[in-house]
Amino acid sequence: EAAVTQSPRSKVAVTGGKVTLSCHQTNNHDYMYWYRQDTGHGLRLIHYSYVADSTEKGDIPDGYKASRPSQENFSLILELASLSQTAVYFCASSDAGGRTGQLYFGEGSKLTVL
Amino acid sequence: GQQVKQSSPSLTVQEGGISILNCDYENDMFDYFAWYKKYPDNSPTLLISVRSNVDKREDGRLTVFLNKSGKHFSLHITASQPEDTAVYLCAAGENQGGSAKLIFGEGTKLTVSS
């Protein structure tokens, strides 16, 4: 069974502060993704990566940075957190072999920005 | 704009009935189509998926229909049960130069009433 773990699971941050969400996978998957979940919007892709030391912008990258220091780890960084970034964030990995395939999701990280 | 769209935010079906969930997409390059199921406070899990070279795929009570000319796919759940109550997310994927990304719809909340 695929294993994707996120930390922290829940965080309260202040507006303007820096937030780092971490994701670790033990599946030996090449692809990793960060999505945010908002009511009425489903899951929206923020950043993704298909190889270490390289990241790609998703559909809503503004206000977020990503880092993929190794195949196993993928971080999402909010340099200046804003109220609108309050959401649940999901990390996922996939062994797509170059083609889109099944995503294995982490448990989610609930971020509240005050 | 929204590349993958679920026009019905909610659906209620009687136990034993057929649940039909719909999804429309815009991008002709999508070649992978999937349905994920999500319970509250849980992560999404893959239910069923198809590649663009097939029009239909069955798996137990689940059937995916793909209409490429209409840019539409749907999920049919027969003999719906209360435990089918969840949010269903459709997703479509494309491959760009070796990187694969999956785009989700907004989700449809299915309620199966007993």
CB–CB of A55/A67 below 8 Å?
A: yes
Would you place residue A8 in the very low, low, confident or very high pLDDT band (cuts 50, 70, 90)? very high
In the block, which residue shows the tokens 């229909």?
B65
Please report the pLDDT score of residue A41 as a whole number: 80
Q: What does each C-alpha distance from A6 to A49, B24, B102 come to in angstroms?
A: 16, 31, 20
The stretches in chain B having pLDDT less than 50 are none
Contacts of A90 in chain B (CB under 8 A): 43-44
Mode of pairing for the β-strands spanning B56-59 and A19-25: unpaired
Q: Assign domain B4-113 to its CATH superfamily.
A: Immunoglobulins (2.60.40.10)
Round to whole Å and give the CA distance between A32 and A95: 9
Phi, psi of A31, rounded to the nearest 5 degrees: -95, 135
In the block, which residue shows the tokens 């349905």?
B35
**Could you state, in order of their start, the residue ranges of all structural domains in chain B?**
4-113
- Whether A64 and chain B come into contact, CB under 8 Å, resolves to no
- Give mean pLDDT, residues A33-55: 92
Round to whole Å and give the CA distance between A94 and A50: 9
Check whether A39 has a pLDDT greater than 60: yes
Quick one: how many helices (H) and strands (E) in chain B?
0, 11
Please report the pLDDT score of residue A97 as a whole number: 56
Q: Which of A41, A45, A99 lies closest to B106 in CB terms?
A: A41
- Whether A93 and chain B come into contact, CB under 8 Å, resolves to no
Check whether A101 has a pLDDT greater than 80: no
Spacing of C-alpha A6 from chain mean position: 9
Please report the pLDDT score of residue A95 as a whole number: 83
Would you place residue A99 in the very low, low, confident or very high pLDDT band (cuts 50, 70, 90)? low
Kindly report the number of other CB atoms within 10 A of residue A113's CB atom.
19
Check whether A81 has a pLDDT greater than 90: yes
DSSP 3-state of B89 = strand
